[in-house]
A and B are shown apart, each in its own frame.
Chain A
Amino acid sequence: MTRRSSFAAGARDTLPMVIGAAPFGVIFGTLVAAGPLAAWQGQLMSLSVYAGSSQFIALGLVAGHAGLAVIWLTTLIVNLRHALYAATLLPHVAHLPARWRWTLGFFLTDETFAVMAGYYARHPRAPLGHWYFLGSCLSMYANWQFWTLVGLLFGAAFPQLQSLGLDFAMVATFIAIVVPQLASLPNFAAAVAAGAVAYLGQDVPYKLGLMAAVVAGVAVGMALQRWRSGGLEAGRQEEAA
Chain B
Amino acid sequence: MTGTVLTNTVMILGMAAVTVFVKAALFVLGDRVVFPPLLKQALGFVPVTVLTAIIVPMILSPNGEGLELTWRNPQLVGALAAVLACVVTGKQLLTIAVALGVFFVWQLGVLA
Contacts and interface: CB of A to CB of B under 8 A. Distances in A.
Interface residues of A, number: 86
Contact of A117 (B47, B53, B59, B75): B47
A199 B12 contact: no
Contacts of B100: 16, 168-169, 172
B43 interface: yes
Interface string B51-86: 111111111111010000000001100110011001
Contacts of B14: 68, 71-72, 75
Given A165-B103, A168-B78, A102 B49 contact: no
Q: Is the interface of B mostly helix, strand, loop or mixed?
A: helix
Interface string A89-119: 1100111101001101110101001100110
B56 A198 contact: yes
Residue from B22, B28, B92, B107 with most neighbouring chain A CB atoms (10 Å): B22
A113 B43 CA distance: 13
A13 B91 CA distance: 13
Interface string A187-210: 100110111111100100000001
A79 interface: yes
Interface of B: 4-5, 7-16, 18-20, 22-28, 30-31, 33, 35, 41-43, 45-62, 64, 74-75, 78-79, 82-83, 86-87, 90, 92-93, 95-96, 99-100, 103, 107
